[in-house]
Amino acid sequence: MAASGSVQVPRVLHFQLIDGMQLQINVSGCSNKRNARVEFQLKNCTRTWILHWGFLYLGNRNWYIPSGEDSSGAKTYKQGALQTPFVKNGDMYVVTIELRDPKIHAIEFLLKDGSQDRWLKLNHGNFRVEVPEYDASNPLPSIPKELIDRKAYLIWESRGRPQSSPEQQKQDYADALTELQNQLRKGISLNELQSSYMNARTKIKAQDDVQPSRPVTPSSYLRRHDGPNETKAGQSSLALMDLVEKSAGGNNVVSKQNYIVGIYEIVVLSKVLSGDYHIFVALNVRGTAILHWGVSKSSAGEWLAPPSDMLPEKSKMVVGACQTYFTEKTVGGRPFQLVDVNLQKRNFVGIQFVIWCGGSWIKNNGGNFFVALQRVLPIRKVNGYSNGIVKWLLDEISQREKEAERSLMHRFNIATELTERCKAEGELGLVGILVWMRLMRCRHLTWNKNYNVKPREISEAQDRFTNLLQRIYLNQPNDREIVRLIVSFVGRGGQGDVGQRIRDEILMVQRNNDCKGGMMEEWHQKLHNNSSPDDVVICEALLNYLRAGFKLDVYWKTLHAHGLTKEKLASYDRPIVSEPCFRMEAKEGLIRDLTMYLKTLKAVHSGVELESAIDSCLAPSLNVSCSNTRQSDCLNFVKTHIGDERIGPLMEKLLESRIEIRPLLLTPHRLAKELLFLDLALASAVRTTMERGLKDLNFANPPDWYRASESHKSGDAQWALQTKAILDRLQIILSDRAVDLQIKIQPSAEYLGKLLGIGKTTELIRAGSAAVLSMLITRFDPVLRKVANLGCWQVISPVEVSGFVYSVNELITVQNKVYRKPTIIIASRVTGEEEIPDGVVAVLTSDTPDVLSHVSIRARNSKICFATCFDQNTFRNLKSKEGRAVSIQLKSSNLIVSDIGGSILPLSSLVPSISRRVTLKRKIFCGRYALSLEEFTTETVGAKSCNIKFLRGRVPSWIRIPMSVAIPFGAFETVLSLDVNKDISTKIMFLRKLVNGGNVSKLQEIKGAILQMSVPVSLTTELTSKMKSARMPWPDKGGDDQWNRAWQAIKKVWASKWNERAYISCKKAKLNHEDLRMAVLIQEVICGDYAFVIHTKNPLSGDTSEIYAEIVKGLGETLVGAYPGRAMSFIAKKNNLKSPIVRLLVMQARK
């Protein structure tokens, strides 16, 4: 097929001027070869004329003044143009301009009469001469149809493989032809093009025994994507994944990925089987297929040959890679092919591969497939940022922001490119894109600058970006939360006329309502030049202005609420400087037309617009609800009743709709993007509806909401305890989720914000419906506590005191402080691990530390009042008493806080003192590195170890005592003094001097140094012998790695001596920290169903006739380790243990 039909720049231009003058322009050469020449000829001219001119670059409307070599004889005019006089040549006047800059796209000019100072223009504008990029005089070779087909397929694939209409397919074919012709004009040979497109290379080297040929190319591109891809085996990706899972066995799935490449389907399943890491790669076709693969050890982009001792069956090594033949499998009568790569326990970043099948390479969008074996969390310290960021990505975003701010089209195209490139970076790569899009949506970044773009081009760029996000959402389940957040900041976009309607419909609004001037015309020009999400706000402001009876303050209030000021409107390339002013009789028509136009704007720019999202999913051509009548009914109800004042039925249908959509979002679906936008819109509606109606919900009348639980009985305190347990657990989950997002996102937000000069970044946590759930829980809590008779206090250490109120956010920030007058600390955050400062007589908190936490025990032992307040109003009132003197008195299980005069406080309490009640005797090393249970004494091991020995033989046989051995006091100091640890000992001694001098931050370095200690052989030998004698398994099942982990655990116990709390506690008690010795108790782990602690004296009330117990599910670490939440607790009289009274049913959060 001959290559022809490209649009050519005219080579000769003619213009008829005034007074019979004629202007002829001859263009020769081309900019690509740097030999373009433009000759201006004035004929029938009797006066001196001047060419007033400048260059244009592609996409830029501003004139550019060239260098001297291109402008001989020209003079600069007011720094913005050049002026060159015409020179007589025979019977005409001539100016010749030679171009050397290949970036020049055109010349614009005017003609100036040198004698009368008048100007000649073309239709009140500039004359324009476009410079050809290529020399069209050179014939192009014939381009094979197969090559055009292949290029058209790649264009279609780059758009996300949409289901294209015949017209779009023809357009792709024409675009492919044009692009190939342009590449030929650039000097690229036809052979090079065929090699590039038909034999697309990857990062790997071609192998001698498997020669890469062109990838599978259909006989006709137009037939290639008439409909959805069908696998040759006739089974969905979900079905193939199920077959692979059944074939592999085991339940410990790490990740799942599936890819559709033409007629091929590839499924990748990562599993841990018997402690080994397995990668299963499956293919849905029969016939010879080869997995060509390598491993990545240090980075995702690395390709290395795997070690020879871990090759699968039917494998052989080639240069730089391994080739493994697929094995045919049949499960349930359905065939497929599989390779099982056992990476054993090696610590690789991932593997890369391509597949040879049917005479061609199967690749991932022209590159390698990559399987990450662990979350890629690059910890790189960058200008003080020690948490995980993808530095290269954030740096490039910063560098390309100048280009991105030209228009939203540019921004979304760059975002698509960078998102593709950062796939191998895992979740943190997506976090970088998320932060960038969030800064854009919050208007921290410029949306348009000196560039005219059609709304259709913006919507198409959005569509490409969201199509890519859809593929990531489907293929990377672990990253769905981050992808969902990105999508919420990007409009839906779309192909075809979706964006063009923005231009067309504003003209209809103006014409129908006779408002073609003023503010509406300025807005119209802005919409034509560069539409953006700001236009949604402007349209809403106009509607509010009209509905309020033409009140301008309503118009400006709407704009200001969304960050649009007069200055912002005036800063657009097409500024809006006028205020709206309409005829009274146009009001109803404008409200009608602008309401419809708002839907068009939201369909392109808003990702959470409910009505358009519902319409998209219920459209007959896309209907995802046709097989689910209930879902369709719910969505139609929501659409009809979204503005109802009674929010109960609406909330019910909103939540039911999300529940119905949820399963579809968790499985591959051809309309995943539309479903995601719908779910985002529903979530947004849940929040706005609840916020709108929250004040009207009846929280004071329990029957209104008790019906939510079938287990409820009127006045049932037990039900209230159970409900509170559920809500408290939800609150913990919401808090954990917020902290997790903060940890993931904040380092990237701070780093990119600093690069872009943005001072404060906005939070994401409040953007979802989780904020509404938290709000509801807070509103329900006091009602539940009242029904359950819990009161608003939990008193952990009941002591009546008086003191001055001092409020802090976290208790840990003041634990080293010394107060010179009795102080009552009001702390929002108490973990349970803090020290109580000297001079403090009470700590009141809204946090929930366990009664067994360090701070709780310290408070009880020191007779300091310690209590948790569950009522936020009461807690806020306490904070408001800052600096005032109050008294705390006990009444039943509650506290009574009363104002008193400062002069009433006893003088003895004004100067705090610490009575030294504890002495510390330095223990001497017994000469042995390991002791059996029978050898435990108070001189060699701690109290817990001795208590275990004491219990042996004193408890019934049905109560098991865990097997135990210990490393005694002084062992650490002895090991540290050995020659093998001499350097570490010197370092610790130096750091210890710094700590004793007041630099407490060096404690962490001491702990780090201890973890570098080497183990002496004698310690290993003695410990092995004692553990075997006690019938305890030696940690050698996993080889040296298992013992190394055990040795690290021993050193962590030793290092805990230098915890900040331990050091400060010794200092406060006037104890010599150097006298402290650490023994290590080693016990078998018992996998219990529950763990509990029983107090033989009620620690909350001091009642010796009661026991107090706390119980949690699983191991006891959650009970004593300062985890969030509260344990289930109960009290019982010792003379009536069969009638316990449950105080709390809140189960401890597990980590």
Question: Looking at the domain assignment, is residue 984 inside a domain?
Answer: yes
For residues 94 and 254, which has the higher predicted lDDT (pLDDT)?
94
Task: Say what the pLDDT of residue 224 is.
Answer: 36
Angle between helices 427-441 and 717-755 (to 10 degrees): 80
> How many of the other CB atoms lie within 10 Å of CB of 946?
15
Residue 498 has pLDDT above 80, yes or no: no
Written as six digits, the tokens of 382 are: 């960058």
What pLDDT was estimated at residue 5?
37
Task: Answer whether residue 692 is part of any domain.
Answer: yes
Asked if pLDDT for residue 254 goes beyond 70, the answer is: yes
pLDDT band at 686 (very low <50, low <70, confident <90, very high): confident
Verify that 126 and 77 share a domain, yes or no.
yes
Measure the CA–CA gap between 465 and 486, rounded to whole angstroms: 10
- Dump pLDDT digits (tens) for 226-251: 333 333 333 444 578 888 888 888 76
- Where a domain ends, among 673, 696, 719? 696
Strand segments, DSSP code E, in 104-166 are 104-113, 119-120, 127-130
The answer to whether the beta carbons of residues 352 and 290 sit under 8 Å apart is no
Asked if residue 701 belongs to a domain, the reply is no
Burial class (CB in 10 A: 0-12, 13-18, 19+), 287: exposed
More confident residue, 551 or 732: 551
Say whether pLDDT at 179 is over 70.
yes
Both 635 and 758 in one domain: the answer is: no
Confidence bin at 223 (pLDDT 50/70/90): very low
Categorize the per-residue pLDDT at 536 as very low, low, confident or very high, splitting at 50, 70 and 90: confident
Residue 714's region, left for phi above 0, alpha for psi from -120 to 50, else beta, is beta
Is the pLDDT assigned to residue 543 strictly greater than 50?
A: yes
Dihedral, 879, 883, 886, 888 alpha carbons, nearest 10: 50
pLDDT tens-place string over residues 97-108: 888 787 888 899
Residue of 52, 410, 605, 854 marked active site:
854
User: Predicted confidence band at 225 (pLDDT cuts at 50, 70, 90)?
Assistant: very low
Residue 132 has pLDDT above 70, yes or no: yes
Residues above pLDDT 90, as percent of the chain: 14
Q: How confident is the model at residue 624 (pLDDT cuts 50, 70, 90)?
A: low
Domain boundary among 605, 627, 644: 605
| pLDDT (average), residues 200-219 | 33
Mean pLDDT of 269-273: 85
Is 589 in the same domain as 509? yes
Confidence of residue 704 (pLDDT cuts 50, 70, 90): very low
Query: Are 630 and 536 within one domain?
Result: no
pLDDT at 170 over 60: yes
For position 291, which CATH number holds?
2.60.40
What is the per-residue pLDDT across 308-343, written as a single tens digit (0 to 9) for each?
Answer: 888 999 999 887 889 999 999 888 888 899 999 998
Instruction: Mention every residue, 6+ apart, whose C-beta is less than 8 A from residue 814.
Output: 808, 825, 837
* Helix axes 518-530 and 534-547, enclosed angle (nearest 10): 160
Does residue 318 or residue 140 have the better pLDDT? Answer: 318
Over 50: is that where the pLDDT of 510 sits?
A: yes
Q: CA-based angle 846:895:729, to the nearest 5?
A: 35
Q: How many domains does the chain have?
A: 10
User: 1005 and 956 in one domain?
Assistant: yes
232 in a domain, yes or no? no
> Do the domain assignments include residue 25?
yes
Residue 1108 φ/ψ, nearest 5 degrees: -130, 130
Lookup: tokens for 1023: 């410990």
Regarding whether 510 and 454 lie in a shared domain, the answer is no
pLDDT value of position 458: 79
Three-class secondary structure of residue 28 per DSSP: strand
Provide mean pLDDT across the span 507-525: 86
Write out the residue range of the structural domain in which residue 243 sits. 237-372
| Segment 358-380 mean pLDDT | 67
Task: Verify that 1062 and 995 share a domain, yes or no.
Answer: yes
Considering 367-371, 611-615, 1118-1122, 1140-1144, the range whose residues carry the highest mean pLDDT is: 367-371
pLDDT confidence band for 431 (50 / 70 / 90): very high
Q: Residue 959 falls within a domain, yes or no? A: yes
Reference 580, options 605, 549, 534; nearest CA is 549
Q: 475 and 516 in one domain? A: no
- How much of the chain exceeds pLDDT 70, in percent? 81
How confident is the model at residue 205, as a pLDDT?
A: 33
What mean pLDDT comes out for the span 987-996? 90
On whether both 805 and 763 belong to a single domain, the answer is no
Report pLDDT for 911: 43
Rounded to an integer, the average pLDDT of 867-891 is 88
Please tell me the predicted confidence (pLDDT) of residue 233: 35
Q: For residue 781, is it within any domain?
A: yes
Residue from 475, 484, 486, 275 nearest 372 by CA: 475
pLDDT, tens digit (0-9, with 9 covering 90-100), for 931-956: 999 999 999 999 888 988 888 878 88
Q: Which two tokens mark 1044?
A: 């190394």
Question: Which ranges of 756-787 does DSSP label H, i.e. alpha helix?
Answer: 770-787
Residue of 1124, 187, 242 whose CA lies nearest to 734: 1124
Mean per-residue pLDDT of the chain: 78
Q: Flag whether pLDDT at 965 surpasses 90.
A: yes
More confident site: 1064 or 549: 549
> Does the pLDDT of residue 499 top 60, yes or no?
no
CATH number, domain at 1041?
3.30.1490.20
Which residues neighbour 966 within 8 Å (Cβ) at sequence distance 6 or greater? 930, 931, 936, 940, 941, 945, 1079, 1080, 1081, 1082
170 shares its domain with 290: no
The reply to whether 645 and 621 lie within a common domain is yes
Q: Which of 765, 786, 807 is the last residue of a domain?
A: 786
Give yes or no: residues 936 and 1070 share one domain. yes
Annotation marks residue 669 as catalytic: no
Instruction: Give the pLDDT confidence score for residue 714 in this predicted structure.
Output: 58
Residue 75 pLDDT: 80
The string of pLDDT tens digits covering residues 760-774 is 554 555 555 676 777
Decide if 466 is inside a domain: yes
Q: Which residues contact 606 (CB under 8 A, 6 or more apart)?
A: 491, 492, 533, 536, 612
What's the CA gap between 266 and 279, in Å, rounded? 13
- Range ranked top by mean pLDDT from 59-68, 582-591, 695-704: 582-591
| Model confidence, pTM | 0.53
Q: How confident is the model at residue 1061 (pLDDT cuts 50, 70, 90)?
A: confident
